[in-house]
Amino acid sequence: MAKGFTKRKENYSEWYNEIVNRADLAEHSSVRGCMVIKPYGFAIWEKMQSILDKMFKKTGHTNAYFPLFVPKSLFEAEEKNAEGFAKECAVVTHYRLMNDPEKKGKLMVDPKAKLEEELVVRPTSEAVIWNTYKNWIQSYRDLPILVNQWANVVRWEMRTRLFLRTAEFLWQEGHTAHETKEEALEETKTILDLYAEFAEKFMAMPVIKGVKTESERFAGAEDTLCIESLMQDGKALQAGTSHFLGQNFSKAFEVKYANREGKQEYPWASSWGVSTRLMGALIMTHSDDNGLVLPPELAPFQVVLVPIYKGEEQREIVVNKLKNIKNALENEGISVKLDDRDTHKPGWKFAEYEFKGVPVRLAMGMRDVENESIEIVRRDTLEKKSYDMHDLAGKVKNLLKNIQENLYQKAIDFREEKTHFVDSYEEFKSILDNEGGFIYAHWDGTSETEDAIKKETKATIRCIPIDEDTKEGECIYSGKHSARRVIFARAY
């Protein structure tokens, strides 16, 4: 176990912070609420980006780039959207600094450089994008528009946590326009499936696909679909959302197209996004009391090679062997780091890479050279074995596949264990306080009940799950009729 490192059961929140910090993933910056994503953390995000980007392109989307700033008059055009984000907007009011006449070497905002219209730093880009689509859409031939952008956005948050909630974060936001309602709905669903596939296949993180209730909906959407995952402290985390926007934005920005009959219509829209929040989800899904655990599909390097030797002669022999192994593994498409630094001891390296969650560690000393063997440790179980060198690359490849599957299965098992079907409000509260997890309970469908439960227990309706059986029942809170169970949880 990592020395001096907080355990999950002692203080889950501190445990999370220590992983982010000591595994070199991210840190707080001098700017309130903004984070620095460090190279090791960013390499994981880059892997996520690259996989998602390929998935978007395969489903017909292209990337573009829209301005960082939204003029206030555009921002307020779609009322609900504006209302939803107005309270957390960074606002640019001036475009120049000047020397402070009273403090030598200091600068001040130049009062003469006040903008006529304030600019909002985008908290999301529907407004600026739909204002652009006005120029792009005239006829049904211009549809669908299937555009995504990778960008930074800013939402002024008072309480921030690295990756999970920061004032500035990185994300992708897709914005599509369609001829028909059905097409827009289908797109919304296609992306939800894509997000779920990404989460399960690459992050090894099981998710539940569902629909948000009205009060949890994206500001300006007709419907918000989401994927919800469960963290090890029993709290839920919304990992991605896909919104059906109806014609709200096309109407707000007066975007019309001539349909196949030559009549003017408002196009239908979707928008969808995942963010660096996924990093938080990834960390909390798999990591343990020894530090970060990464699924092989997203590890910056999947295998680390550590030589063990005494003296320069041994070093040369062992390192040369490891260089050959590196090549062999890389030829199989495995990403490898050989740490042959002489400034650090093998024990230090073992601890370091264990903490950083590298899926597989291979260590080789003189005895291994003589025996044609190598020591292998898998990060997920910390199991140690000696492998003979025959088809080592093939074995490591299988092992990585196995680790990926094992992490997913472990997370599935954990979620099952923490999933409760509850029929009374007393039991509901008791489970929330003692166990956490996803609680399937009947709800009468009203915002009043939802709000009351939230107020009393801090649990929210995470979603109305899509792919599950629907059976009627009685609301745990009001006793009224319930069309089906929904999922409650406390959430990030």
> Which positions touch its own copies (CB under 8 A)?
27, 29-31, 34-39, 42-43, 45-46, 62-72, 74-76, 79, 82, 86-99, 105-107, 109, 118-121, 128, 131-132, 135, 141, 147, 151-152, 154, 156, 168, 170, 343
Minimum CB–partner distance for residue 366 and its own copies (Å): 27
How far is Cα 227 from Cα 208, in angstroms, rounded to an integer?
Answer: 5
Q: Residue 350 in contact with residue 304, Cβ under 8 Å?
A: no
CB closer to its own copies, 61 vs 361? 61
Minimum CB–partner distance for residue 128 and its own copies (Å): 7
> Which stretches within 198-310 are classed as H helix?
248-252, 277-286
Minimum CB–partner distance for residue 63 and its own copies (Å): 5
Sheet holding 336-338, edge to edge: 336-338, 303-307, 360-364, 373-378, 384-388
CB closer to its own copies, 136 vs 414? 136
**At 248, is the secondary structure helix, strand, or coil?**
helix
Minimum CB–partner distance for residue 104 and its own copies (Å): 10
CB closer to its own copies, 86 vs 466? 86
Minimum CB–partner distance for residue 17 and its own copies (Å): 15
CA angle 195–223–167, rounded 5-degree value: 65
CB closer to its own copies, 119 vs 284? 119
CB closer to its own copies, 125 vs 213? 125
The secondary structure of 346-359 as a DSSP string is HHHHHHHHHHTT-S
Nearest to 84, CA basis, from 51, 126, 33: 126
Q: Which residues of 213-233 are buried (b: 16+ CB within 10 A; e: fewer)?
A: beebbbbbbbbbbbbbbbbbb
Give the number of other CB atoms < 10 A from CB of residue 320: 12
Minimum CB–partner distance for residue 306 and its own copies (Å): 18
Minimum CB–partner distance for residue 68 and its own copies (Å): 5
Nearest to 191, CA basis, from 126, 146, 251: 146
Minimum CB–partner distance for residue 91 and its own copies (Å): 4
The secondary structure of 262-293 as a DSSP string is S-EE--EEEEEEEETHHHHHHHHHH-BTTB--
CB closer to its own copies, 151 vs 400? 151
Minimum CB–partner distance for residue 79 and its own copies (Å): 6
CB closer to its own copies, 135 vs 264? 135
Residue with tokens 């042959």: 340
How far is Cα 253 from Cα 271, in angstroms, rounded to an integer?
Answer: 16
Distance separating the N- and C-terminal Cα atoms of the chain: 27
CB closer to its own copies, 108 vs 382? 108
**At 361, is the secondary structure helix, strand, or coil?**
strand
CB closer to its own copies, 157 vs 474? 157
Listed in sequence order, the residues at least 6 apart from 306 whose beta carbon sits closer than 8 Å to its beta carbon are 339, 346, 349, 350, 353, 361, 362, 363, 364
